[in-house]
Structure 1
């Protein structure tokens, strides 16, 4: 006879053991350890008679493995290595591994080098725009690796570190990790100074490819200058590598303690009441001008969602549309931050029909008449033409509300007629 009671208790007990073990595993603090360079990419290297050729890829791997062995003894940590042998994972593979692992911290270990008068010391970089031109050579040295791998060329092809658009996007993406990265970097550099009696060059923001796409706090640690004799001998020694590894390990422990305290102390967010829509729509008036600008003109300072409306010979440029007060205020701030210091919010009554006059679409302004073969005249019927002050103005349609005019404008855009302007005719 089978003892069902015993079997049920046994499996019930096993179920909860498995459940709590899964919960425990999910709570592990995940650290990605990245040994810089590797394989055919030796990184910085110098020959010294005492140690032979000292290669960055060998020092970084040795330090990373030492840090990893110390962390693996602590059950609270999960350790992921981008490499444990002499191979070259692409920068894309390193980033993808960290992001898929939902890591709590990414640490890339490197060695510095310089062709100048033998600088020395440690420094730690966190991701950020190039705010210090003296760091540019470091960025160049580390970012040159980008061209070694086809995947990296595809991943980073559209990214221009000198482009204002790239830097703006970079700031937004990385801002929530910046504070934590700076905190961890300060722990690392503090340990190098206090424990190892090293010279620290500080924690700096830099635009480095290996950190740029990481969705977590991330740092790149330069453990010393291979080009400096004293630093090189320290980096080549077992004592030096052990001290560096211990300082990084202690920084990780201190960072996790701070992380745990903040997680425990974080107050529960107050429920945000649902915002009620306003009666009217609001657009931000950027400027009025006798000139017509297209959507990509520098005069619009890179803002999108611009609606030009021509009235009494002036083009009025409106930014955004919303019936929520918070969005209206944010749009106004965005406009003023972009340089439109006199921007103001204007109220529009939804679907309000004009009592006098109408809206029309100004589709072309030319110094010569459009030919009968022009795209505008062949695409649209009943186009009106008026000559004023030596120019020909072509308009299309009559609409009683702004919304009708906007709808018609979108319809002709689908037919390939771009850059039309809604015109308010008061007569």
Structure 2
């Protein structure tokens, strides 16, 4: 009898743990990020009547007040990027939010201007810059990446002006942009209606602290420290309490909206890969262009294939229809208007020809001391219309040709072109 009772208790315990875990999984996870911190003080001003006002102190005060309000609600799980005067890198803030599978990321900041007259609140969501007058906001918030080695390494190679970056930004943020805009709208609406503040609106801006987040995310500029009246408000308990409460009410409204829509959400079928690869044909021309040539309009991931005397320039490769369409749009946005998607069958051998590499073209004949002639055997030379063409290799598939091209690059032979030869 005791054995049965013990087994029954174990079952109850297991069921309790399962249901407890399920309940825990339903919590709405919010990451609160108090902007700046530690050696990064952010915007700062000193006034005779209120003393020194530092952005890092104001943001921490608001976040801690907001967190205490949220922690009273058992439906929320609150995670802080910092609760003391320290500087977490932008990478750490993003990684924390992504590891936590957060449902919402809120970064709290204060604005500043070289003039003392600007005032009001702004909320930013991640996206291509839509408001050119606010470039100083992005510059100020992004400049802190140089404070941390991890940030420098992660963001150093990122060029926000390149066509690939812009389209990647659109793709990455399309899933979360609408939700971020909705939440940002609630925040700014509350600042106006509840706190009688002036709202400068919800805007899109390319900000590093939001760029890699896999959830709806906003950066709230709670007011201008450079404005004496707003600085006093931001530094006061009354001001911080009101700001925190307005953000809290915005979270509540947003959560209710999500709960209402949850029942309507139908999971989209997973996109299946296409049978063939697709590359975007940018142009066919007798002219040969090197990587980085202005004729390629800043696009990377270019595959050049010479065919029947013409150089064909292909952009990117994918076997997913949605990415193919995005690649087409990227090419058109870059300035190529008459682009088309061309199908490539993976690992298909040429039955009526072969691929080789064009390793050099020029008006001058290569000297015997040329590294190309020294490193490669069986290089073929042809002269046509006053131009010398040096070619190498004989492989059956495009994949084999690209591998051969990579092998030559490792030997120091660069700027080669794959050529398709018909028998």
* Structure-2-length-normalised TM-score: 0.85
Please state whether the residue corresponding to 1:139 is helix, strand or coil: helix
Q: Provide the C-alpha distance between the structure 1 equivalents of 2:225 and 2:145, rounded to a whole number of angstroms.
A: 21
Residue of structure 2 in register with 1:158 after alignment: 157
Residue of structure 2 in register with 1:6 after alignment: 5
Residue of structure 1 in register with 2:286 after alignment: 290
Residue of structure 2 in register with 1:411 after alignment: 404
2:143 corresponds to 1:144: yes
RMSD: 3.3
Q: Provide the C-alpha distance between the structure 2 equivalents of 1:285 and 1:163, rounded to a whole number of angstroms.
A: 19
Pair member with larger Rg = 1
Is the CA contact (8 Å cut-off) linking 1:309 and 1:315 kept in structure 2?
Answer: yes
Q: Provide the C-alpha distance between the structure 2 equivalents of 1:200 and 1:63, rounded to a whole number of angstroms.
A: 18
2:306 to 291, 309, 314: 309
Residue of structure 1 in register with 2:81 after alignment: 82
Is the CA contact (8 Å cut-off) linking 1:361 and 1:405 kept in structure 2?
Answer: no
Q: Provide the C-alpha distance between the structure 2 equivalents of 1:323 and 1:92, rounded to a whole number of angstroms.
A: 31
Is the CA contact (8 Å cut-off) linking 1:119 and 1:228 kept in structure 2?
Answer: yes
Structure 1 residues 307, 263: closer, same or farther in 2, change over 3 A? same
Residue of structure 2 in register with 1:120 after alignment: 119
Deviation at 1:104, TM superposition (A): 0.8
Residue of structure 1 in register with 2:361 after alignment: 365
1:389 to 385, 393, 417: 385
Deviation at 1:424, TM superposition (A): 3.6
Is the CA contact (8 Å cut-off) linking 1:362 and 1:394 kept in structure 2?
Answer: yes
Q: Provide the C-alpha distance between the structure 2 equivalents of 1:397 and 1:342, rounded to a whole number of angstroms.
A: 33
2:371 corresponds to 1:378: no
Residue of structure 1 in register with 2:338 after alignment: 342
Deviation at 1:275, TM superposition (A): 7.2
Q: Provide the C-alpha distance between the structure 2 equivalents of 1:160 and 1:392, rounded to a whole number of angstroms.
A: 38
Is the CA contact (8 Å cut-off) linking 2:280 and 2:315 kept in structure 1?
Answer: yes
Please state whether the residue corresponding to 2:263 is helix, strand or coil: helix
Q: Provide the C-alpha distance between the structure 2 equivalents of 1:151 and 1:329, rounded to a whole number of angstroms.
A: 34
Deviation at 1:31, TM superposition (A): 0.6
Q: Provide the C-alpha distance between the structure 2 equivalents of 1:124 and 1:323, rounded to a whole number of angstroms.
A: 38
Q: Provide the C-alpha distance between the structure 2 equivalents of 1:127 and 1:327, rounded to a whole number of angstroms.
A: 21
- The one-character-per-residue Cα deviations of 1:356-392 (angstroms, maximum 9, x if unpaired) are x877654322322222222333334343333333332
Please state whether the residue corresponding to 2:215 is helix, strand or coil: coil
Please state whether the residue corresponding to 1:107 is helix, strand or coil: strand
Deviation at 1:244, TM superposition (A): 1.1
Deviation at 1:185, TM superposition (A): 0.5
Please state whether the residue corresponding to 1:250 is helix, strand or coil: helix
Structure 1 residues 7, 398: closer, same or farther in 2, change over 3 A? closer
Structure 1 residues 409, 208: closer, same or farther in 2, change over 3 A? closer
Q: Provide the C-alpha distance between the structure 1 equivalents of 2:197 and 2:250, rounded to a whole number of angstroms.
A: 15
Residue of structure 2 in register with 1:353 after alignment: 351
Q: Provide the C-alpha distance between the structure 1 equivalents of 2:325 and 2:44, rounded to a whole number of angstroms.
A: 55
Residue of structure 2 in register with 1:422 after alignment: 419
Q: Which moved more, 1:189-198 or 1:155-164?
A: 155-164
Q: Provide the C-alpha distance between the structure 2 equivalents of 1:257 and 1:64, rounded to a whole number of angstroms.
A: 22
Q: Provide the C-alpha distance between the structure 1 equivalents of 2:340 and 2:71, rounded to a whole number of angstroms.
A: 59
Structure 1 residues 9, 239: closer, same or farther in 2, change over 3 A? same
Please state whether the residue corresponding to 1:20 is helix, strand or coil: helix
The 4+ residue runs of structure 1 with deviation greater than 6 A are 320-331, 346-349
Residue of structure 2 in register with 1:101 after alignment: 100
Counting matched residue pairs gives 416
Structure 1 residues 243, 398: closer, same or farther in 2, change over 3 A? closer
- The one-character-per-residue Cα deviations of 1:45-98 (angstroms, maximum 9, x if unpaired) are 333343332332222222111111111111100011122223332323222222
Q: Which moved more, 1:110-119 or 1:86-95?
A: 86-95
Structure 1 residues 304, 232: closer, same or farther in 2, change over 3 A? closer
Residue of structure 2 in register with 1:202 after alignment: 201
Q: Provide the C-alpha distance between the structure 1 equivalents of 2:394 and 2:44, rounded to a whole number of angstroms.
A: 74
Deviation at 1:234, TM superposition (A): 2.1
Structure 1 residues 405, 230: closer, same or farther in 2, change over 3 A? closer
Structure 1 residues 232, 200: closer, same or farther in 2, change over 3 A? same
Unaligned runs of at least 5 residues, structure 1: none
Q: Provide the C-alpha distance between the structure 2 equivalents of 1:108 and 1:392, rounded to a whole number of angstroms.
A: 60
Structure 1 residues 353, 112: closer, same or farther in 2, change over 3 A? closer
Is the CA contact (8 Å cut-off) linking 1:361 and 1:409 kept in structure 2?
Answer: no
Q: Provide the C-alpha distance between the structure 2 equivalents of 1:112 and 1:295, rounded to a whole number of angstroms.
A: 41
* Structure-1-length-normalised TM-score: 0.84
